Chains A and B, each alone.
Chain A
Amino acid sequence: MSQATLGIRAISGHAGSVPGAGVERGLEVCKLIDTTTCIGCKACEVACLEWNGLTFSETTFDNSYQTMPETSWNYWNLIKFNEHEREDGSMALLMRKDQCMHCEEPGCLAACPADGAIVQYVNGIVDFQQDHCIGCGYCITGCPFNIPKFSPTARKVFKCTLCNDRVTQGLEPACIKSCPTGCLHFGSKTDMKDLADKRAAQLREHSGFANAGVYDPPGVGGTHVIYVLHDSTNPEAYGGLPKNPTIPLTVQLWKTPLKWLGNLAIIGGLIGVFAHYLRFGPKIVEEDENGKQGARQ
């Protein structure tokens, strides 16, 4: 495998400095998903499978057009079909492309204890490095979007890579390229934000969606996959998109105060042992009954 050509902004479970963090100028990339023009054709699902060479997986029929209940370790991109009853009693079929959101402050990376198993590149892509992954599954706990999935075969965790192999070479992700209705867009975060805001304003002013808006949740520092929703006040209707996603409290506690308390306890213990050694010297074992002197420890 090749060495990274992308600067790294954050590394999971890493004690030292991070090469690339704050020293490299980089374009932040972003996917824009306009749920209002998605027709649920699943071209993005297939393009993802083809590009990433993912293995065959059984689909589930559950009285819905949805391929399977949720993304899987070898199915990173899933259109979620949701029947939604509007206030006036009419029905709407809401379709949302579900995949890794590539959070600015990734919960998976915060939770991961393995050095270098999860990295965040300067361009915002959060990537799993399976050769450093220890398969503990803590990232699954840390993710507010239920994205990382454990592979029982590889005993590692897998998820969408935002096609970083394509993006580093100046190509768009496979899903974006395939989309026939043009509901998927790819570009810089700034451009995508602008495009999304314009589209949301258009929906509010001309299409009668008074609550149309952009989903770029601040609870995880914003995401590198953003949505335009018909009703941004109710993202849960789009197959469980959390209203205000945050890194779970347990992970936050454990990775910040508890971690440093633990480190203090370890280092304090070591200092204590060393101070004891300096103050009282090595332990001398007293003579036993046979009159032999114990070995110096």
Chain B
Amino acid sequence: MATSRRDFLKVAAIGGGAATVLGFDLAPAYAQLRELKIARATETRSTCPYCSVSCGVIIYTLGDKAKNVTPQVIHVEGDPDHPINRGTLCPKGASLEQDILNPRRLLKPQVRRPGGTDWEDIPWDTALTEIAQRVKKSRDETFVEKDAMGRTVNRCEGIAFTGGCTDTNEFNFLVVKAMRSLGVCYLENQARV
């Protein structure tokens, strides 16, 4: 049987089509890797604010500090050069990014009134005024000028102050000045920085 040119082309086309369908794909196979998301980010060293261990962290910020860029934190992880944690973090510290990027983060003062079931938003001015009023009231009510033996003590037993781990020396200086001037004795913070 003679095969015409036309028949040959037909068979070749069908064969080629079949080869493509059956998976003889000559296109090179590349795998796609995600790029390192912190490759060009700005690195800032900081201290974890949660507990008094004060682990070192690196905060990775979007942008290269150019004038027109608004920096945004994109990732936080342990600082390998920090002598305390050498790059490691606990689960709370590992979630530090959410200290900043979290829709549930509190951005304004809230108050839950006595007997109330919900938190209500209040302006900063109201919050500060109310705190000042309460501090004044508690101090007036609980201030002890002389103890049982008649010695002058000038202390305020109704107020306590607790500070956090990231409080700086300067902040703690001001805290001590302010609180001691009120007569507060229960004064503590967990700063070890």
**Residues in A lying within 8 Å of B, measured CB to CB:** 1-6, 8, 11, 13-16, 18-19, 41-43, 45-47, 49-51, 53, 115-116, 119, 121, 127, 129, 131, 161, 164-166, 168-169, 171, 174, 177-180, 182, 266, 270, 274, 277-278, 281
CB < 8 Å: which of B24, B32, B35, B98 contacts A15? B24
Identity of the chain A residue whose Cβ is nearest the Cβ of B74 in the assembled complex: A53
CB < 8 Å: which of A11, A53, A116, A178 contacts B89? A178
Q: How far is the CB of B84 from chain A (nearest CB, A)?
A: 11
- Majority-rule SS of B interface residues: loop
A177 B88 Cβ-Cβ under 8 A: yes
B29 A14 Cβ-Cβ under 8 A: yes
User: Which of the segments B75-83, B109-117, B143-151, B164-172 contacts the partner chain?
Assistant: B75-83
| Interface size, B (range) | 35 or more
Q: How far is the CB of B43 from chain A (nearest CB, A)?
A: 13
Instruction: Judge whether B119 is part of the interface by a CB distance below 8 angstroms.
Output: no
A4 B32 Cβ-Cβ under 8 A: yes
B25 A127 Cβ-Cβ under 8 A: no
B29 A177 Cβ-Cβ under 8 A: no
Q: Which of B90-107 contact A (CB under 8 A)?
A: 90-95, 97-98
Chain A residues near B29 (CB-CB < 8 A): 8, 11, 14, 16, 18-19, 115-116, 119
Residue of B11, B33, B80, B88 contacting most chain A CB atoms (<10 Å): B33
CB < 8 Å: which of B22, B23, B33, B88 contacts A4? B33
- Bound-complex Cα distance A180 to B78 (A): 10
Chain B residues near A4 (CB-CB < 8 A): 30-33
Given A1-B35, A43-B88, 9 new contacts (CB under 8 A): A1-B34, A2-B33, A2-B35, A18-B29, A43-B90, A161-B34, A169-B36, A171-B36, A174-B77
